[in-house]
Amino acid sequence: MRGAETKGFLEVDRIEKNYGAMKAVDRVSFSLAKGEFLTLLGPSGCGKTTSLRAIAGFETISGGKISIDGEPVSDPANNIHLPPERRQFGMVFQSYAVWPHMSVAENVAYGLHNLKLSRAERDQRIRRVLAKVGLEAQLDRPATMLSGGQQQRVALARAIVYEPKVLLFDEPLSNLDAKLREAMRLELRRLQAELGITSLYVTHDQEEAMVVSDRVIVMRGGHIQQIGSPSDIYDRPANRFVADFIGSSNLLEAKVLRCQGKAAFVETAVLPGAEIACATVGALEPGSNVTLSFRPEHATLSVEPASSDQNVLSGHVSGRINMGSHLDYRVAIGKAEVRVSAPRSVEIPLSQNVAVVLDRDRSLALAS
């Protein structure tokens, strides 16, 4: 769980990583509170893995500073670069990095090789951490006889057995099948909350980020696009990229007609004259171009005339997919098509004219 008492346990201050003229990471800043679970999320090439490797000490940074508990570990301006083994970070890799010629206990013991512990203390730590990850009964089992999920638990146990200051995860679940990945997300979250380990996680999987994180950092092109809780990121995306990348969003080009408090009134390019009231993200001016964003579950379908012309987009049903738990309708509006979720009890035939009614509090005008 996120710790409120200690802010900035890990500080990343305007770090840069350049490869020639290419900026893989461009002036990225964030802080990680003690006990917090923070995730770097984004598509391939966004800079998330490079940032993690720089924090771990596997990459030197071109500029900026990284500090842990107030002490700099990377600061090129002052010629500081602590090697990975001196940073007291644990790391769980995508490939597990489990030694096939060792037993479960021997793999976990590898994380203790730099500590001066008695055999009794070492064995006690190994048993304790294997019990935490549910592998105490597999203590002497060869690593080659473990399933993928069990190997990932061994990798996690090895990373936490020496009680690191920060635990780093580099897409640790990407090699698991979908059902096991879902179970391991919940297991990781439970363990992190139980142990209170400060954790930094990297993934391209938005659902994974939403499940495990206290906060999420969305990255693109070496820059941070938004930092917030999972619900903040989903419900109040900062821009079109975040709205499009996180979950499913309908995105329509629009123009601001007028503003009133925290609300904007817009008309879309595909249906001029239809006024849509929506919430705003940032300051907007009348006449400015925006993107109208709304989630499929934040609109409803009606075959009856709407009670009000406001917040209605008129169109016809162009497609319908049974998703099991609900129906996913496609509605053609002019030259655009939007998605609307509906209960399975709401069956509307193809080509039927419908009104798409938008929730004004959950539809957003995003600056273009």
Could you write out the three-class secondary structure of 93-139?
A: CCCCCCCCCCEHHHHHHHHHCCCCCCHHHHHHHHHHHHHHCCCHHHC
Burial of 58 (0-12, 13-18, 19+ CB in 10 A): middle
81-90, 172-181, 312-321: least confident range: 172-181
Per-residue pLDDT band for 349 (boundaries 50, 70, 90) equals: very high
CATH node for 10-241: 3.40.50.300
pLDDT band at 54 (very low <50, low <70, confident <90, very high): very high
pLDDT at 308 over 80: no
What pLDDT band is residue 149 in, cutting at 50, 70 and 90?
A: confident
pLDDT in the model for residue 176: 80
pLDDT above 50 (res 37): yes
Model pLDDT, residue 21:
93
3-state helix, strand, coil in the chain (%, to 5): 25, 35, 35
Q: Count CB atoms within 10 A of the CB of residue 331.
A: 26
pLDDT confidence of residue 6: 41
pLDDT confidence band for 1 (50 / 70 / 90): very low
Please name which of 295, 197, 171, 183 lies closest in space to residue 237, comparing C-alpha atoms.
Answer: 295
Model confidence at 299, pLDDT cuts 50, 70, 90, reads: very high
pLDDT tens per residue, range 213-268: 999 999 999 999 999 999 999 999 999 999 999 999 999 999 999 999 889 999 99
Q: What is the DSSP string of 141-195?
A: SBGGGS-HHHHHHHHHHHHHTT--SEEEEESTTTTS-HHHHHHHHHHHHHHHHHH
Question: In 3D, which of 97, 206, 88 has the Cα closest to residue 152?
Answer: 97
The predicted pLDDT at position 4 comes to 38
Taking the domains of the chain in order of start, what are their residue ranges? 10-241, 248-367
Per-residue pLDDT, 309: 65
> What superfamily would CATH give domain 248-367?
Nucleic acid-binding proteins (2.40.50.140)
* pLDDT tops 80 at residue 3: no
Residue with tokens 């006449």: 287
Q: Which residues pair with 198 in a beta bridge?
A: 166
Per the CB < 8 A criterion, the answer to whether 1 and 193 are in contact is yes
pTM, two decimal places: 0.91
Q: How far apart are CA 147 and CA 289, in angstroms?
A: 53
User: Residue 2: pLDDT above 70?
Assistant: no
Q: Which residues contact 128 (CB under 8 A, 6 or more apart)?
A: none
Helix (H) or strand (E) holding 17: strand 10-19
| The pLDDT of residue 264 | 96
